[in-house]
Amino acid sequence: MTAFHLETIQGVVTLTFDYPNEKINKLTSEVMGELDTMLEEISKTPNLKALVLKSAKRDIFIAGADIAEIRSITEPEEGVLKAKAGQAVLNKLSALEIPTIAVIDGATLGGGLELALACSYRVVSDNPRVQLGLPEVSLGIIPGFGGTQRLPRLIGLRNGLDLILTGKSVDGKKAYKLGLADAFFTQSFIEESLQIFLATIFTSKGKEVTLKRRRPKGFLGWFLERTFLGRRLVYKTAKKTVMEKSKGHYPAPLAALQVIKSTFCGSLTKGLDVEAKAFSLLVPTQISKNLIQLFFVQEELKKYAGVSQPIPIATLQDSGVLGAGLMGGGIGWLLSSVGISVRLKDVQWEAIAKGFSSASKIYDKLVKIKKKTAREVGLSMQLISGTTDYSGFQKTDIVIEAIVEDITIKKKVFQELEGYIRPETIIASNTSSLSISEMAEGLAHPERFIGMHFFSPVNKMPLVEVIPGEKTSDEAIASVVQLAKTMKKTPIVVKNVPGFLVNRILIPYVNEAICLLQEGVSVQVLDHAIESFGMPLGPLALADEVGLDIGYKVAKLLEKGYGERMAVAKAFEVLFADPELRGKKTQKGFYLHSDAKKVPNPKVEALLKSCKVQGVDVSVATAVDRMILLMVNEAARCLEEGVVQKPEHLDMAMILGTGFPPFLGGLCRYADQRGISEICQKLEGFKTQYGMRFEPAKRLIQMAQENKMFYTL
């Protein structure tokens, strides 16, 4: 394999990386071996002035190390050898006696950034695809090719920790501001700008000015970076932040922090040894394997079309949104944020104004955190218009409905809508639970009708369930899947069954939490137990976020669809009967939300007295198992019925739609690691004690009998 091409002009050698037969450059073992040979040759070539490293790939410098190779490491000894081999090559790059310049005009992540850090200088373009970062912690590992050593030394302890411990990336402009890049070029003039930069660093004054930008600014920068007390404060703050975000479930950020803390003031050589050892201890762990598996599922979903055969996909540039409430306004914002014009319709102008306000508030937050400029927001908001009739809907390519969750009203609106749009315009319903096939009844063109279930809040939740009805065409499915990707969401096609996929699995879990309240377990104990398990919110705090009324209505729909095993808890009925208890939107639910800190609502405790089940003493471990294993059981049924294509998609849907802990790999992967036989035994015991809702799914029983797992079927 030849991945690198050398060219020397007037003493400047250009090394261009072009990984054969791939859209990206990645640092495989073979590539690193070839790079090592090239660097050896360059080091022995006389009269060279500089080495320039470039990429031949569009929008990519180097995507990182080969994740498949990292996944294959099963022993710490292998991990040490892998890290040290990479470090040795980059040390050779760093040791060259001539200036080395990484020219970055695209994504530069993981090992790619570590290679760039080993260069004397880095220059970046204003290409919007430029992203620099060390995302290793998202894979359950730490940088192993010198990233924990070179990055904090280059951009300072605080900025280095911020990038390494979060795994986030920065664009070219931010990289230049941080000192991670030494020059910021306009993409269209990158070659001319590079020549000017080379001429600058070839002079002693130019080199001095360039390097001076990297020094810490001001007294605070000096204190926090250069003094023992300052660094101690930085480490303490960083650890507190990591623990608040990870709850201690993710060991990689803590390991990275410890590596940097113990090596920042020492020699690079010793620091690299410590880094390699820490990397080697993390890479064989189950958490790392789980996170890497999810990485590959995400990569697969990027290519996911939602249909089995390639078909032409409609370009959706003009859209309409029916309903300008919280969801409608959020969907309008989302469409406009990717350059799609939006026509918001509601029955009153006051409602449309609220839709505009919802979109504007999201944009304002993006401006505040410097993700958008005021000018960009102005242009995007101009894409949103409003109407109380159907004017402007004739040119729409898709209309997304987000009105009241009432099937009679929805059907009437859809039939009315058909008279104002073109025959090929796609109609998508944002319903969370109603039948897509039933809503399509009576439509002249049911083939263009589909479910497109966004999760709330739209600007934060990454999942979109795509639900075809009985007559939905493949063209409509593929077009909506592509639209979701355009909107930077992850679409997963699911079957049209009550609750679809996520709510079908999630609502019984919330309902079981309410059953446990009836048995005397407190709200706080339940939520704390589930948060300790790894969920971002406990089931009752989640119910408040969603709205008790919405959760109850979906629960009743599931009870109607699936019978006794989805029977709604008596306490759920009692709580829903009180119109004040709607959760966060009324500031009263399982918690009181009027203050900054939520506290349990004493009214809930009072109402539960009429529903209490006597003589039951439930341990915390049993409570967690009842809630989580009920979800595993329903997941098995969903796969058995073909609600979703495969366990990988189900796991990703639960992670993106409910926050199921990524470090556990997803619901099905958790079940595999827990043991299918053990889960079946637990469910049988719960069935005997608590009722038929715990009856193990046929698929689970079969898997236990045949000693199979979700991921090996």
Q: Of 441, 463, 493, which residue constitutes the final position of a domain?
A: 493
488 with 514, same domain: the answer is no
Mean pLDDT of 610-629: 89
Alpha-carbon distances, residue 208 vs 202, 203, 215, 539 (angstroms): 10, 9, 11, 58
135-157: b (≥16 Cβ within 10 Å) or e? bbbbbbbbbbbbbbbbbbbebbb
Instruction: Report d(CA 571, CA 515) in Å as an integer.
Output: 7
Q: What is the 3-state secondary structure (H, E, C) of 454-494?
A: ECCCCCCCCEEEEEECCCCCHHHHHHHHHHHHHCCCEEEEC
473 and 613 inside one domain? no
Q: Residue 36 pLDDT > 60, yes or no? A: yes
Q: Which residues of 361-376 are buried (b: 16+ CB within 10 A; e: fewer)?
A: ebbeebeeeeebeeee
Residues 416 and 487 in one domain: yes
Q: How far is CA 607 from CA 518, 590, 707, in A?
A: 10, 11, 46
In a domain, 289, yes or no: no
Question: What is the total count of domains within the chain?
Answer: 3
Q: Is 113 exposed, middle or buried (0-12, 13-18, 19+ CB in 10 A)?
A: buried
**Residue 338 placed within a domain:** yes
- For residues 340 and 426, membership in a common domain is answered with yes
Q: How far is CA 646 from the centre of its chain?
A: 20
Task: Name the strand (E) or helix (H) holding 428.
Answer: strand 426-429
Looking at the fold, whether 46 and 97 belong to one and the same domain comes out as: yes
Residues 395, 440, single domain; the answer is yes
Cβ burial of 307 (10 Å; 0-12, 13-18, 19+) is: middle
Query: Strand order in 318-322's β-sheet?
Result: 384-387, 341-345, 318-322, 398-401, 426-429, 449-454, 463-468, 490-493
In a domain, 293, yes or no: no
Task: Single out the catalytic residue among 445, 453, 593, 649.
Answer: 453
Banded pLDDT at 665 (limits 50, 70, 90)? very high
Q: Known catalytic residue: 5?
A: no
Alpha-carbon 696 to chain mean position: 31
Q: Which domain holds residue 138?
A: 4-284
Structure-block tokens of residue 614: 């006597």
Q: Which of 463, 461, 462, 473 is nearest to 436 (CA)?
A: 473
Is there a single domain that holds both residue 81 and residue 170?
A: yes
Answer yes or no: do 118 and 188 share one domain.
yes
Which residue, 32, 266, 64, is CA-closest to 149? 266
Q: At residue 376, does pLDDT exceed 80?
A: yes
Whether residue 248 sits in one domain with residue 120: yes
Is 305 a domain residue?
no
The domain that holds 129 is classified in CATH as 3.90.226.10
DSSP state of 588: B
Q: Which of 695, 469, 605 is CA-nearest to residue 477?
A: 469
Which pLDDT score, from 0 to 100, does residue 615 have? 62
Do residues 650 and 635 lie in contact, with contact meaning Cβ atoms separated by under 8 Å? yes
Q: Domain with 532 in it: what CATH number?
A: 1.10.1040.50
Domain termination residue (choose one: 284, 310, 334): 284
What average pLDDT does this structure show over 455-472?
96
User: For residue 292, is it within any domain?
Assistant: no
Q: Where a domain ends, among 460, 493, 526?
A: 493
278 and 322 housed in the same domain: no
| Whether residues 511 and 487 fall in one domain | no
Q: What CATH number did the domain enclosing 443 receive? A: 3.40.50.720
Inside any domain, residue 613: yes
Query: Residues, the chain, total?
Result: 713
Indicate whether 219 pLDDT > 60.
yes
What pLDDT is recorded for position 309?
A: 87
Considering the domain boundaries, does residue 302 fall inside one?
A: no
Q: Which range has the worst mean pLDDT, 452-466, 605-619, 655-669? A: 605-619
Does residue 607 sit within a domain? yes
In the predicted model, is pLDDT for residue 307 greater than 70? yes
How much is the pTM?
A: 0.93
Same domain flag for 128 and 30: yes
